[in-house]
Amino acid sequence: MRWLPFQLNPDLPESGIPRLEYIRRKFGDRDHSRYQRVAQVGKSIGLDMQFEKITVQPNTVKAHRLLHHAGELGKQDALAEALFRAYFIEGANLTDNAVLADYAAQAGLDRDEALKYLVSGADADVIRSADIEARQAGIEGVPFFIFNRTIGLSGAQDPEVLLQAMQQARDRVPGT
């Protein structure tokens, strides 16, 4: 499995924006209960999402760069899990290099090397290009699953649907 970059908000400044400002921009004065519904669904499967702890709506280029780097080191899944926990449960600011480096360390990466990588700006062009490529392929949101480069599924899906898509993708490849 590989985690590919896709930004929900590619136009945000590098430092992100205050979360409440983002919510007002996106939804206006309408009901924001959608986050409560997501949190309730999360709780039903053991995830205690804490949307109220999120103070910064991040530009995620740095986080995606770090995920790319972790993938090169064989630690992409561990970092993805750490970053999901950081943001959705702990409300961490994913635009802060030191915060990202701390979570990289929790995922088994060397903290100092992760910080040096983040400060360098390395691979930002790779991430932005991959994000544009995903949009040009018609991807508009997350989650988006691609199985064996043949089957794509958008949105949260039941496990049975995911399994069926995996089997169909496997069956489309000769010799499997």
Instruction: Assess whether pLDDT exceeds 60 at residue 116.
Output: yes
pLDDT at res. 32: 63
CA distance linking residue 131 with residue 4, whole number of Å:
8
CA distance linking residue 73 with residue 82, whole number of Å:
15
* pTM to 2 decimal places: 0.88
Residue whose entry in the numeric block shows the structure tokens 């390395």: 122
- For the chain, give every domain's residue range: 17-136, 143-176
pLDDT at res. 167: 94
pLDDT at res. 27: 82
SS (H, E, C) 67-125: HHHHHHCCCHHHHHHHHHHHHHHCCCCCCCHHHHHHHHHHCCCCHHHHHHHHHHCCCHH
CB-CB neighbours of 50 under 10 Å: 14
Percent of the chain at pLDDT exceeding 70: 96
| pLDDT band with cut points at 50, 70 and 90 for residue 149 | confident
Residue whose entry in the numeric block shows the structure tokens 């043949």: 150
For range 150-165, the mean pLDDT: 90
- Condensed to tens digits (0 to 9), the pLDDT of residues 36-84 reads 888 888 888 888 999 999 999 999 999 999 999 999 999 999 999 999 9
Instruction: Assess whether pLDDT exceeds 70 at residue 100.
Output: yes
Instruction: Assess whether pLDDT exceeds 80 at residue 126.
Output: yes
Instruction: Assess whether pLDDT exceeds 70 at residue 30.
Output: no
| pLDDT band with cut points at 50, 70 and 90 for residue 175 | low
Instruction: Assess whether pLDDT exceeds 60 at residue 176.
Output: no
Instruction: Assess whether pLDDT exceeds 90 at residue 34.
Output: no
For range 31-37, the mean pLDDT: 73
17-136 CATH choice from 3.30.2320.20, 3.40.30.10, 1.10.357.140, 1.10.275.10 = 3.40.30.10
